Structure 1
Amino acid sequence: MSDIPADLKYIETHQWVRVADDGTATVGITDFAQEQLGDVVYIGVPDLGVTVNGGEEAGVAESVKSASDVFSPVTGEVIEVNESLEDEPEKVNEDPYGDGWLFKVRLADKGELDGLMDATAYSEHVAAEE
């Protein structure tokens, strides 16, 4: 079973979001997603300053065996990207919930989080896919 932290929110396409007290939302791909991808060789993230929309494509993750779109769980302005992934995309495999985060946004609407899955619901979603 994949690692599924209880403090995050999830979407069906296997991305997670962690919201800080200041309303900044950090986005990444789940442990299950990185396992399915295999060895990640490239991560494409949105540009700084662009607005990403919840549930819409925001980037790409490429591995030795496939490429997969990365969707943003939330809507907001991109305020930071994980530049270290340019040279070390394997961080997504090694630490998907820590150093392997993808980008950060300034949340447009905190209420949007209410529509996302908690760890229990996401765990059930993953179990149904396995």
Structure 2
Amino acid sequence: MTKTYFTEDHEWIKVEGGVATVGITDYAQEQLGDLVFVELPEAGKALAKGDTAVVVESVKAASDVYAPVDGEITAVNEALAGDPSLVNSAPAGDGWLWKMTLADESQLEGLMDEAAYQASIA
């Protein structure tokens, strides 16, 4: 079963079978504007909840993307190196940032579901 969670910092985390895919929300990419560069982490890097995992740069500003939970990066979206605009065109799809294993699934309980996230940005 796939379930998607959201953070106050506008990240989404989609969990499927102990593997989490992380990206930024549509709202976040709209606020940033057109992305021109995505600084991806290395696979194998351990992250603690709240650590900066990725830096995205737009024509307006650079912004950190934080790890929503503890875990280890298992894959990064290499397509973004050549086409960072995928984050703008498909933030919840082809514009994902990294995949990670979950160190502590109970951390997901502190995150928002989509209805709560939408209410928080309304």
TM-score range relative to shorter protein = over 0.9
CA shift for structure 1 position 30: 0.3
Report the AA paired with residue 16 of structure 1.
W
Which has more strand, going by share of residues?
2
SS of alignment partner, residue 14 of structure 2: strand
1:81 aligns with 2:42: no
CA shift for structure 1 position 59: 1.3
1:38 alignment partner, one of 33, 36, 40: 33
For 1:125 and 1:54, the matched residues in 2 are separated by: 20
CA shift for structure 1 position 57: 1.3
| 2:91 matched residue in structure 1 | 96
For 2:24 and 2:70, the matched residues in 1 are separated by: 16
Q: Structure 1, residues 4-36: CA drift from partner, whole Å, max 9, x if none?
A: xxx420111100100012x00000000000000
Give me the CA root mean square deviation: 0.9
Using the size of structure 2 for normalisation, the TM-score is 0.95
Give structure 1 stretches of 5+ with no counterpart. Answer: 1-6
1:24 aligns with 2:16: no
Q: Structure 1, residues 88-130: CA drift from partner, whole Å, max 9, x if none?
A: 0000000001100000001101111101011111111111xxx
For 1:55 and 1:118, the matched residues in 2 are separated by: 18
Q: Structure 1, residues 62-98: CA drift from partner, whole Å, max 9, x if none?
A: 0011111111111101000000000000000000011
State the aligned residue count. Answer: 120
Q: Structure 1, residues 41-75: CA drift from partner, whole Å, max 9, x if none?
A: 11112211111111221111100111111111111
| 1:66 matched residue in structure 2 | 61
For 2:62 and 2:4, the matched residues in 1 are separated by: 24
**Identity over aligned pairs, percent:** 52
| 1:11 matched residue in structure 2 | 7
SS of alignment partner, residue 107 of structure 2: helix
Give structure 2 stretches of 5+ with no counterpart. Answer: none
